[in-house]
Amino acid sequence: MRITYDELRKIACEVRAEMIERGEIDPGKKRIRRKPRDPEKSELLYRMAIDRLEQYPPYRDDKGRIVLPWFR
């Protein structure tokens, strides 16, 4: 099968909206991964987190609130 990225995006958005409407997905529900990760993957995710922290270091704004630039 061959499909374009934009077609897929449209379909994926429709499906997500339908699943939320039917209550099959709860966007507010905390997701917990049960399948364990192997040590190399865990190491990779740790490195990604550290790299992001270095590239986008958190800081406090003038009201003393913590700002996490990665999420902006």
Q: Which is nearer to another protein, 2 or 63 (CB)?
A: 2
CB burial of residue 25 (10 Å; 0-12, 13-18, 19+): middle
Task: Kindly state the smallest distance separating residue 70's Cβ from another protein, in Å.
Answer: 10
Contact between 13 and another protein by CB under 8 A: the answer reads: yes
Is 71 in a helix, a strand, or coil?
Answer: helix
Pick from 28, 33, 71, 72: which binds another protein (CB under 8 A)? 33
Among positions 1, 60, 61, 64, the unique one binding another protein when judged by CB under 8 A: 1
Q: From CA 66, how far away is CA 59, in angstroms rounded?
A: 6
User: Of 17, 62, 57, whose CA–CA distance to 9 is shortest?
Assistant: 17
Binding site for another protein (CB under 8 A): 1-5, 7-9, 11-16, 18-19, 24-25, 31-36, 40-41, 43-45, 47-48, 51-52, 54-55
